[in-house]
Chain A
Amino acid sequence: MSPAWRLHPAWQELIRISARNFQAYRFRLMGWMVTLMIQLYLLRVVWSAVYDGRESVDGIAGDTLLVYLTISTLHRFFLPNSIAFEIEQRISSGRVANDLIRPFGFLKQMVAIQIGNVAGSALLLAVIVPLAMVVGSLRLPSVENGLVYALSLVLAYVVNVLIFMLVGLLGFWLVNIGGLRAMISISSDFLAGALVPLWFMPDELRTVVEWLPFQAVMFLPGSIFAGQVTGSDVIRSLIVQVVWIVVLAGIANVVWKRAQRKLVIQGG
């Protein structure tokens, strides 16, 4: 028996395999990259026109906004929600039966695959970051902000995985969650502040959005990256993210326990 603190060897193997599988879809990745660059370019053109030479709108400088929207757009590409799809597929095909007889937990397998997907696309960053600085409006933050942002990004990633893990687990009750999944994916972009930052939202809406977990995925790390959050507010942002992780992990745990009792294996 290996000691508990040693990482299970299946993590590394599953991450490696799913990273490689992900890279097998090179053409798809290239397509994504082109779309991404067009999007970043349009962001710059459109928002520069909106600002029309003004320094700031609602106290937000044009530069800051563009950097924020650029990094949010990058997040949307690199924080996948495929874990919901992965879980849904395994339930609807009955494959979940095979996953459950492994000595390496089902949810751990799903998370490892998700991490592998991100790792598989991470190599692209070497191309995308410089391109985003030329074509788009990406500006690298100060070292200090950069470090805090890195921490916040990791937390955001965990929150994102937990949210979509929960969406996927709904499949144990509904079997076909395709529609629901699409609905949540789309609304989560908006609620995360990826399309319109929370700064510009009307107060009532902003209050609602601040009580939802989605902003912890994009708005919080994004505004740290853009340098819009400073001092003790940075700590506050990180705490909000950690609290969401604790809450969502707790919910996922309960839901997972109930899901196992609910399980019906499709196809005998």
Chain B
Amino acid sequence: MAIIEAHDLVKVFERTRRAEGRFATIRTLVTHQKERTVAVDGVSLSIDEGEIVGYLGPNGAGKSTTIKMLTGILVPTSGTATVAGVVPWDDREANAMNIGVVFGQRSQLWWDLPLDESFRLIGKMYRVPEAKFRQTLEMLVELLGMKEFLATPVRQLSLGQRMRGDLAAAVLYEPPILFLDEPTVGLDIVAKERMRGFIEEINRTRKTTVLLTTHDLDDVERLCKRILIIDQGRVLFDGPVDDLRRRYAPHRLLEITVSGDGVDALREITHDPPPGVNVTAAEEFTASFEVDPLVVPVARVIAEFSARAPVVDISVREPEMEGIIREIYEAKAVNA
């Protein structure tokens, strides 16, 4: 069952051009010069309960604007959406109860308050019963390792600590849906891994639906089975990560190294590779190939090479997501 649904969401920002010079503020008020920017241009999506979906796109693609409409912060110029049955911008407060939000770039915690006071305030805002609140908080403190900085004012926390606090704040009232806008931005590897582990855990135990925007493809590889790619306000791709890879970069990268007496055999192979195999680099002892598994299984290529030359080392890799995504961003389209 779809828990998040959007049809043809469009958001056009109209900005009054600022007057300059004397009395600029007053003149801006009465001027009618407008600049129009189409941030989101007809986005439709449907996300099922319990899914973790990666929402990708270059800077300014419209990711955050989409999320801000689904969270009820922004009212779309046209189009419809429901989140857990609620139209977010029509009934913002009902929607708020169903969603948890993390903006990686902007903390939702109260700057001057100690972390635990921020949590308390959130507990009150979402009407979490006292006993339930204590129980959930204790679990979160444990899971995210927040004990030692729970009483520290938020402004004194490190980015990693603050981000953990933000994530805890978003799940404290156990919302069925999480919107995470760049939740790992700026974090070191250990901190990123902790965030990912937590998101995975909460999705597994509570069946929380997660829509996640990120520029870190490790987040996607680790967490998402499905991704949406958006650019210039339009959805370019929507489907399983595997599909994208199959469709866009089906080949495997094969690298072999031969021993000293295999130099001639290797040269023969690189001069006349078998069907479905391309040579991408060749040196004296090592060579790299692109293998199209639809033409020939990688295992058969390896077997053949091993029979023809004294192979001492082999590596097979999938093409990196980053390369695929970069190609899509640059081409502004997905090959059909």
The interface of chain A, by Cβ under 8 A from chain B, is 2, 8-10, 12-14, 17, 21, 24, 94-95, 97-98, 100-105, 173-174, 176-177, 179-180, 260-261, 263-265, 267-268
Contacts and interface: CB of A to CB of B under 8 A. Distances in A.
B7 interface: no
Contacts of B73: 97, 100-101, 263, 265
B151 to A, nearest CB: 15
Contact of A101 (B13, B71, B124): B71
B112 A21 contact: yes
Given A103-B93, A180-B25, A261-B75, A97 B106 contact: yes
Interface residue tally on B, bucketed by range: 35 or more
B97 A265 contact: no
Contact of B68 (A21, A24, A97): A97
Contacts of A176: 25
B101 A104 contact: no
Contacts of A95: 106
B75 A268 contact: no
B125 interface: yes
Which of A12, A100, A104 has the largest count of B CB atoms less than 10 A from its CB?
A100
A10 B121 contact: yes
B106 A263 contact: no
Contacts of A14: 121
Nearest to B13: A264
Nearest to B74: A263
B127 A9 contact: yes
Given A9-B125, A10-B125, A180-B25, 6 more contacts: A8-B127, A10-B121, A12-B124, A21-B112, A100-B72, A101-B71
B113 A17 contact: yes
A22 to B, nearest CB: 11
B92 A100 contact: yes
B332 interface: no
Top 8 A-B residue pairs of the complex, sorted by shortest distance between their CB atoms = A103-B96, A98-B108, A13-B124, A9-B124, A10-B125, A103-B93, A100-B73, A10-B124
Contacts, number: 81
A174 B23 CA distance: 13
A15 to B, nearest CB: 11
A211 B106 CA distance: 43
B279 to A, nearest CB: 44
B214 interface: no
Contacts of B68: 97, 265
Interface in B112-160: 112-113, 117, 120-121, 124-127
A103 B86 CA distance: 13
Contacts of B208: none
A102 B106 CA distance: 15
A98 B89 CA distance: 14
Contacts of B78: none
Contacts of B127: 2, 8-9, 103
A100 B179 CA distance: 14
A97 B181 CA distance: 12
B15 to A, nearest CB: 7
27 contacts: A2-B127, A9-B127, A10-B124, A13-B121, A13-B124, A14-B121, A24-B112, A100-B71, A101-B71, A101-B73, A101-B96, A101-B101, A103-B94, A103-B96, A103-B125, A103-B126, A104-B93, A104-B125, A174-B29, A176-B25, A179-B25, A260-B75, A260-B89, A261-B75, A265-B73, A267-B105, A268-B105
B307 to A, nearest CB: 56
Contacts of A179: 25
B105 A102 contact: no
A184 to B, nearest CB: 12
A10 to B, nearest CB: 4
A12 B125 CA distance: 10
A149 B29 CA distance: 39
Nearest to A109: B125
Contacts of A267: 105-106
A176 B19 CA distance: 13
B184 interface: no
B331 to A, nearest CB: 25
A97 B97 CA distance: 16
Nearest to A177: B25
Given A97-B103, A98-B106, A103-B126, A174 B25 contact: yes
Nearest to A13: B124
B99 A101 contact: yes
Nearest to B71: A101
Contacts of A2: 127
* Residue from A17, A24, A105, A267 having most chain B Cβ neighbours under 10 A: A17
